[in-house]
Amino acid sequence: MTSVQAFFLLLCSLPFSLMAQSVEKKLYADIAAELHTPSDKIRVINLWATWCRPCVKELPVFEEFRQKYEGRAEVILVSLDFPADQDARLPAFVQAKGLQSRILAVQDTDPNQWLNLVNADWSGAIPATYIVGKDGRIVYFHNGETTLEALEKVVEPFLK
């Protein structure tokens, strides 16, 4: 790539990189270690994928929640997109939707090795949402679609 091409590429990508989040690829064990470290914010984690229709449909709920609770709660969108899709399809989707929440992508390939780290009762169906308190404990786990009201109901008591 010439420096001129690189400059134009940078120029074109700049407004987008300011707008949407980049994708952090991680092993779930590392995500778990981070989540279970105490924090000054309550954390709402949504397990989703670009290929999952109900997940994509409910993403605005998490974006709205993030905006409303900024500074008090953090939203982390954990993508289960196939590893082959994590370098192109997923970042393109995040840019296109202008997602502002933090985006992690699970790199593990064998769900049987890590799903129990999330929750022993989780079947592996997505979407799934869970909430981790400031002390690093899971206070809520829900398999299926959720709503802003449902999230608020769980989170509010922890913010008082």
Partner 1 sequence: MKLLSITVLFSLLAISASAGGPGKGYQVGDKVTDFKLKNIDGKQLGLSDFQDRKGVIVVFTCNHCPYAIKYEDRLIDLHSRYGADFPVLAINPNAPTVEDDSYDQMKVRAQEKGFNFPYLLDADQKIAHQFGAERTPHVYLLQPVNKTWQVAYIGAIDDNAGDASAVKTRYLEDALKALKDGKPIAQSTTKAIGCTIKWKQ
Interacting residues toward partner 1 by CB under 8 A: 29, 32-33, 36, 49, 51-54, 80, 82-85, 109-113, 115-128, 136-144
Question: Which CB sits closer to partner 1, 67 or 119?
Answer: 119
Question: What pairing do the DSSP bridges indicate for beta strands 102-106 and 73-79?
Answer: parallel
For CA atoms 127, 154, 99, 35, the dihedral sign is negative
**Shortest Cβ 64–partner 1 spacing (Å):** 22
CB of 135 to partner 1, least distance (A): 9
CB 117 within 8 Å of CB 144: no
Residue 144 backbone zone (phi > 0: left; psi -120 to 50: alpha; other: beta): left
Rounded distance, CA 159 to CA 142, Å? Answer: 20
User: Could you tell me the smallest distance in angstroms from the CB atom of residue 108 to partner 1?
Assistant: 10
Nearer to partner 1, 34 or 100 (CB): 34
The residue (of 100 and 117) whose beta carbon lies closer to partner 1 is: 117
Q: For residues 80 and 94, which CB has a smaller minimum distance to partner 1 in the complex? A: 80
Minimal distance, residue 32 CB to partner 1, in Å: 5
Nearer to partner 1, 95 or 122 (CB): 122
Residue type, 54: P
Helix, strand, or coil (residue 158)? helix
Give the residues across from 129 on adjacent strands.
46, 142
